[in-house]
Amino acid sequence: MLTARRSLLLGALATAAARAAPAAPRAEPAFATVTPRPLEFPRDHGAHPDYRIEWWYLTGWLEAQPQPLGFQVTFFRSRTPIDPANPSRFAAHQLLIAHAALADPARGALLHDQRIARAGFSVAAEERDTDVRLDGWRFARAADGRYEAAITAGSFELAFEATPTQPLLLQGEAGFSRKGPRAEQASHYYTQPQLAVRARLVRDGRSASHAGRAWLDHEWSSTVLDPDAAGWDWVGMNLDDGAALTAFQIRRKAGGSPLHAYAALRQSGAAAVQLFAPAAVRFETLATWRSPRTGATYPVAQRLHVGSRSFDTQPLLPDQELDSRGTSGTVYWEGASRLLEDGKPVGRGYLELTGYVAPLTL
């Protein structure tokens, strides 16, 4: 139904445009540029509307029987090319998008839902601190640092508190995270690892309480990917000993060596973050899964070489593909995964795989 409505709308717009007199071209509004600067809190917990794209990305595991569950709650903010001088409250200067997913091995595939709306009225991403609201979904940061979320999806309800147990982890160079060979290919990026979670989950009319652990990424940019980039493989892992491991590679459309790679490891109780040069980071495919819906083949189990150490990711279940073409326009694999070292479990987190159905555009 959504596809049919979109086709009709596009057809009507094309007809109207063909009949209209040609208008003088208008330049897109300038987007803010990411440059190295100290991050300031709580302000930088909030939205940054002058930048093209931003997300608050929370992934985690919930303890359950007979097997644990994975969950994802993500809010995106996107600045559009609409003239900022347009005073209409109905002008879509900012779009908000939200994704929520639950990974249950007993089901064999994700339960997921998504939302999209223009900012305004009851839809907002506040600038003073984390507070994102969209169609009854909300993700906000309290004064004491706890994150609170309430999600009523089509097939489940999830409400949780996520309490920090460690300081913020500033990725890259004090929060300036490079994503490619060019200076402008960068983002502001920080992580809140090892969040202690208390959640209430409702499925099939049954409510249950769960404890768990989560990971939050907050990132904003105007130019993230190189034109030759296909997408990325990303890992965020809470280790059982309290450490936090981040790694990603930006893949080329033509294959071969990545455009850029990065890894950071912070030990439990340590203030310093160990950063690894791109040459010291390598992803190696261990197992793949082919989607029966999109035909994409994803490397759902990977060996991650970071310096002198090697870690293996192991998916909670193979089918964790999330089709968000109705909102963000992409299909990606967002998978709850165990982390192993020398064959032994050492952590839990998420592996994200983008650009496998089609090259990713932001």
- Please write the tens of the pLDDT for every residue from 305-327: 999 999 999 999 999 999 998 88
Q: What is the pLDDT of residue 88?
A: 67
Answer with the residue of higher pLDDT: 119 or 289. Answer: 289
User: Which of the four pLDDT bands, split at 50, 70 and 90, describes residue 82?
Assistant: confident
Nearest to 132 by CA among 141, 58, 32: 141
Predicted confidence (pLDDT) per residue in 210-262, tens digit? 999 999 999 999 987 888 999 999 999 999 999 999 999 999 999 999 999 99
**pLDDT for residue 17 is more than 60:** no
Q: What is the band of 355 on the pLDDT scale with cuts at 50, 70, 90?
A: very high
* Cβ–Cβ under 8 Å, residues 199 and 209: yes
What domains are defined for the chain? Answer: 45-354 (2.40.370.10)
Q: What is the pLDDT of residue 83?
A: 66
Predicted confidence at residue 358, as pLDDT, reads: 84
The pLDDT > 90 percentage for the chain reads 79
Q: Which residues pair with 174 in a beta bridge?
A: none
Q: Please report, to the nearest 10 degrees, the dihedral formed by the alpha carbons of residues 332, 336, 339, 340 taken in order.
A: -100
Q: Which residue has the higher pLDDT, 19 or 124?
A: 124
Distance in angstroms (rounded) separating the CA atoms of residues 332 and 353: 6
Q: What is the mean pLDDT of residues 183-204?
A: 96
pLDDT at 85 over 80: no
**Alpha-carbon distance 328 to 139, whole Å?**
18
Structure tokens at 205: 């009319």
Write down the mean pLDDT value for the chain.
Answer: 90
Q: What is the pLDDT of residues 148-163, one digit of tens each?
A: 999 999 999 999 999 9
Question: How does pLDDT run across 254-275, given as a tens digit for each residue?
Answer: 999 999 999 999 999 888 999 9
Q: What is the pLDDT of residue 87?
A: 62
The Cα–Cα gap between 48 and 50 comes to 6
In what helix (H) or strand (E) does residue 313 lie, and over which residues does it extend? strand 309-315
